[in-house]
Amino acid sequence: MTALRPVRGVRGIALLAMVLLAALAFPWVFRLPYHRDLAIKVFLYAMLAQAWNILAGYCGQISLGHAVFFGTGAYTSTVLQMTWGMNPWVGLLAGVVLAVALSLLIGYPCFRLRGHYFAIATIAIGEIVQTLAINWDFIGGARGLTLTIQKDSLLAFQFHTSKYPYYYIMLGLLTLCLLVSWRIERTRLGYYLRAIREDPEAAASVGIPVAKYKQIAMAISAAFVAAGGTFYAQYVLYLDPDSVLPLSLSILVCVLGVVGGTGTLWGPLVGAALLIPLSEFTRITLGGTGRAADLVIYGALLTGVAVFQPAGLVGLIGRRQG
């Protein structure tokens, strides 16, 4: 499962340039806050899914509790900001550091576990962290934290008059994540990760330090997810355990990655670009009646992809064999 084939050579570069140009121009064409918000959400979830992909797709470690890193990022930068007045950008870095530390804490014991056990362990950890957050008054507990509104400024990481800055920051973060993934794919790190995914015992037997590279993958993954968390906090200006730590977020990230295509560069983005608007569409058209139509589709897609086309949508486009 490697990068989408068309993105090679001159034709590939031209296509890439067009996509980038379109992304840059989007907010000038679509000026309504709602459309920009949709695009921002697509970019955010695409980045989260791609980050998850680094651990699950490239390295084969299926995490079902990735929301812990999102929450770590969001809470760290927010608490530092509100308690000690720390600048949110510095807070973002602090959140990343904490998330990486957390990933080491989780990875060290848990990477010994195989497939299913590891997955369940990540769910358990997610639940533990969410329960702790709900009962920890210092970080607001169940009541959450409302960020103090400040004047528009890049320094304060808050923009109220328009969404342009949020859009470009998120696009930047996504691009960075994609670049990092691309580099991983083409270097020895990617080779090791793939080897670990395909056959950990064989990889160990040829001398690859399996645990170390799993940790690296998880650390990179956690870093981006945490950055996304800080972005979310600065964008919505309110957070509580239910919005940044829930199992449903972990699940969503998996769905986008799997349906789009794990182990690929473009899979999660394709997944997000398709499923997030779909979700919005069903919510607006059917939402008033109280039914979870989009989730029904997600579930069916997830199973369908797992059974028939594990390479995901990208696999379909690239016409790979499974």
Q: Restricting to residues 105-124, which ones interact with other proteins according to CB under 8 A?
A: 109-110, 112-113, 115-117, 119-121, 123-124
Residue 232 engages other proteins in binding (rule: CB under 8 A): yes
CB of 212 to other proteins, least distance (A): 19
Residue 104 engages other proteins in binding (rule: CB under 8 A): no
Residue 306 engages other proteins in binding (rule: CB under 8 A): yes
1 exposed, middle or buried (CB, 10 Å; 0-12, 13-18, 19+)? buried
- Binding segment for other proteins (CB under 8 A), chosen from 13-21, 81-89, 173-181, 306-314, is 306-314
Written as one string, the DSSP assignment of 142-204 is: GG-EEPPP--SBTTTTB--S-SHHHHHHHHHHHHHHHHHHHHHHHSHHHHHHHHHHH-HHHHH
For the segment 190-219, give every residue that binds other proteins (CB under 8 A).
none
For the segment 238-267, give every residue that binds other proteins (CB under 8 A).
238-240, 242-243, 247, 251, 254-255, 258, 262
Of 11 and 112, the one with the shorter C-beta distance to other proteins is: 112
Residue 29 engages other proteins in binding (rule: CB under 8 A): no
Per CB under 8 A, the list member of 28, 149, 319, 321 interacting with other proteins is 149
For residue 56, the 8-state DSSP code is: I
Rounded-to-integer distance, Cα 114 and Cα 111, Å: 7
Cβ atoms of 67 and 56 closer than 8 Å: no
Rounded-to-integer distance, Cα 154 and Cα 173, Å: 15
Q: Is the dihedral of CA 172, 177, 181, 187 positive or negative?
A: positive
Per CB under 8 A, the list member of 2, 162, 187, 303 interacting with other proteins is 303
Rounded-to-integer distance, Cα 283 and Cα 289, Å: 9
Per CB under 8 A, the list member of 11, 13, 17, 135 interacting with other proteins is 135
Of 33 and 172, the one with the shorter C-beta distance to other proteins is: 33
Please tell me whether residue 135 adopts helix, strand or coil conformation. coil
